[in-house]
């Protein structure tokens, strides 16, 4: 092992220790991930592979420590989750899912990320914004369906994440609330067999982005997710869908340290 690599690894270890020691200052993750009125942003980046490959290992590590520094700098106000897309998606190499009480806090993080030593190697592929809201149709569902929706998901890590932007037709928004509620009850019934194995979170995007919704999924069983989508394509509500994906983003959930280790190679 070269001296420069040893030096780089030492610096990385020191920064990891610094990041861990400041974790108590982090934003309230549970609150930002469960309460309504929180902004969710999905930012996809591609790594300039040709330029990145020219960097020696020690330089790569130093660049990646700047990523850790930016996360630490903003962790008091935003929740940041990372996903590795490389090898599973042609949309890019990395996905950042960011939650914040104010959208400008997400903007500040992304600006600092892009201006960091690591960020200079990133190309922005796409950014989508949404807002969490209280369920619109669920309060009118039968009690048994409500109970089924509260089924606890299977324990253990769910390594796969899928992000799907969705846009509804003008006809959908023109339907009265009662008709939409009936179709959403059918939609929900189709999802119940997969509640334990596929976690879902919905973001409302109308007026914030080009799509109406962002559907985010986590699972350890991609076959169940595949079957879930097939089931949803059969319900009446799907006929009013004008965009489903384009793109569909598929990746694996990674810790910050795992991303640093993988990209340092």
Contact 118, 83 (CB under 8 A): no
The phi and psi torsions of 39 (rounded to 5 degrees) equal -85, 130
Q: Which of 200, 239, 242, 243 is catalytic?
A: 200
Tens-digit pLDDT string for the chain (265 aa):
444 554 445 344 444 444 443 444 578 888 899 999 999 999 999 999 889 989 998 999 999 999 999 999 999 999 999 999 999 999 899 999 999 999 999 999 999 999 999 999 999 999 999 999 998 888 899 999 989 998 888 887 889 999 999 999 999 999 999 999 999 999 999 999 999 999 999 999 999 999 999 999 999 999 999 999 999 999 999 999 999 999 999 999 999 999 999 999 8
Q: For 22-64, how does the pLDDT look when each residue is reduced to its tens digit (9 = 90+)?
A: 444 578 888 899 999 999 999 999 999 889 989 998 999 999 9
pLDDT of residue 155: 82
User: In the annotation, is 239 catalytic?
Assistant: no
pLDDT of residue 98: 98
pLDDT of residue 25: 58
Which domains, from first to last, does the chain contain?
3-125+255-264 (3.30.70.3420), 138-250 (3.30.70.3420)
Least Cα distance to 98 among 61, 132, 133 occurs for 132
State the pTM of this model: 0.89
Q: For 216-233, how does the pLDDT look when each residue is reduced to its tens digit (9 = 90+)?
A: 999 999 999 999 999 999
Query: Is the preceding omega at residue 70 within 30 degrees of 0, hence cis?
Result: no
């Amino acid at each position: 092992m070269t001296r420069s690599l040893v030096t780089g690894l030492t610096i990385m270890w020191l920064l990891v220790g610094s990041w861990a020691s400041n974790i108590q200052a982090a934003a309230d993750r549970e609150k930002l991930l469960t309460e309504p009125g929180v902004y969710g942003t999905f930012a996809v980046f591609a790594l300039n592979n040709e330029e990145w490959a020219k960097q020696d290992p020690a330089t790569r590590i130093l660049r990646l420590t700047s990523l850790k520094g930016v996360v630490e700098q903003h962790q008091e106000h935003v929740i940041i989750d990372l996903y590795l897309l490389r090898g599973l998606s042609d949309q890019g190499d990395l996905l950042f899912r960011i939650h914040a009480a104010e959208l400008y806090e997400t903007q500040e993080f992304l600006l600092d990320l892009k201006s960091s030593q690591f960020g200079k190697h990133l190309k922005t592929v796409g950014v989508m914004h949404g807002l969490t809201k209280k369920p619109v149709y669920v309060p009118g569902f039968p009690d048994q369906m409500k109970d089924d929706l509260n089924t606890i998901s299977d324990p253990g890590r769910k390594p796969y994440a899928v992000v799907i932007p969705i846009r509804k037709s003008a006809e959908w928004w023109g339907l009265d609330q009662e008709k939409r509620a009936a179709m959403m009850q059918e939609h929900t019934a189709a999802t119940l067999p997969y509640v334990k194995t596929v976690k879902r979170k919905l973001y409302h995007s109308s007026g914030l982005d080009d799509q109406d919704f962002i559907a985010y999924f986590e699972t350890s069983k991609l076959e169940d997710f595949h079957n879930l989508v097939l089931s949803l394509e059969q319900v009446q509500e799907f006929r009013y869908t004008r965009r489903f994906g384009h793109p569909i983003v598929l990746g694996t959930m990674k810790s910050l340290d795992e991303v640093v280790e993988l990209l340092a190679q």
